[in-house]
Amino acid sequence: MTHYTPTAKLFPFIKAYRIIESQEELVNRVLPNTSLALAFRFGGQISYINNTGKTNLPVATFSGLRKTVRLISYEAKTSALIVLFKETGATAFLKHPLQELFEESVSLDHFFPQSEISIMEERLAEATNNPTRIALVEEYLCSKLTFNKPDKLVQDAITKIYSNKGIIRMGDLANELYISLDAFEKRFRKTTGATPKQFSHIVKMNSIIRQKTPASFLDMAFENGYFDQAHFNKDFKLFTGQTPTDFFKSDLHW
Residues 137 and 161 in one domain: no
pLDDT at 253 over 60: no
Claim to verify: residue 121 and residue 158 sit in the same structural domain = no
Flag whether 252 is in a domain.
no
Which sign does the torsion angle of CA 212, 215, 221, 222 carry? Answer: negative
**CATH number of the domain within which 195 lies:** 1.10.10.60
Same domain, 139 and 158: no
- pLDDT interval class at 251 (50, 70, 90): low
* Sequence letter at residue 140: Y
- pLDDT, tens digit, for every residue of 116-164? 999 999 999 999 999 999 999 999 999 999 877 889 999 999 999 999 9
Q: Considering its fold, how many domains does the chain have in total?
A: 2
Averaged pLDDT score across all residues of the chain: 91
pTM, full prediction: 0.91
| Owning domain of residue 204 | 152-247
Domain final residue pick, 81, 112, 144: 144
Domain boundary among 119, 144, 169: 144
Evaluate whether 68 touches 103 at the Cβ level (below 8 Å): yes
Q: Does residue 99 have a pLDDT over 80? A: yes
Confidence at residue 177, expressed as pLDDT on a 0 to 100 scale: 96
Whether the CB-CB separation of 76 and 44 falls below 8 Å is answered with yes
Q: Would you place residue 91 in the very low, low, confident or very high pLDDT band (cuts 50, 70, 90)?
A: very high
Q: Are 77 and 23 in contact (CB under 8 A)?
A: yes
Name residue 124's beta-bridge partners: none
The share of the chain scoring above pLDDT 70, in percent, equals 98
Given 144, 170, 204, the domain boundary residue is 144
- pLDDT (tens digit, 9 = 90+) per residue, 45-57? 999 888 788 888 8
Q: How far out from the chain centre does Cα 56 lie?
A: 19
Q: What's the count of helices (H) and strands (E) in the chain, helices before strands?
A: 9, 10
CATH code: domain of residue 70: 2.60.120
Question: Cα(86)–Cα(73) distance, rounded to whole angstroms?
Answer: 25
- How far apart, in whole angstroms, are the C-alpha atoms of residue 118 and residue 89? 24
The kind and range of the H/E element at 3 are strand 2-4
Give the pLDDT of residue 215.
Answer: 75
Within 32-111, strands assigned E span 37-43, 46-50, 53-56, 60-63, 70-74, 78-85, 105-107
**Is 77 among the domain residues?**
yes
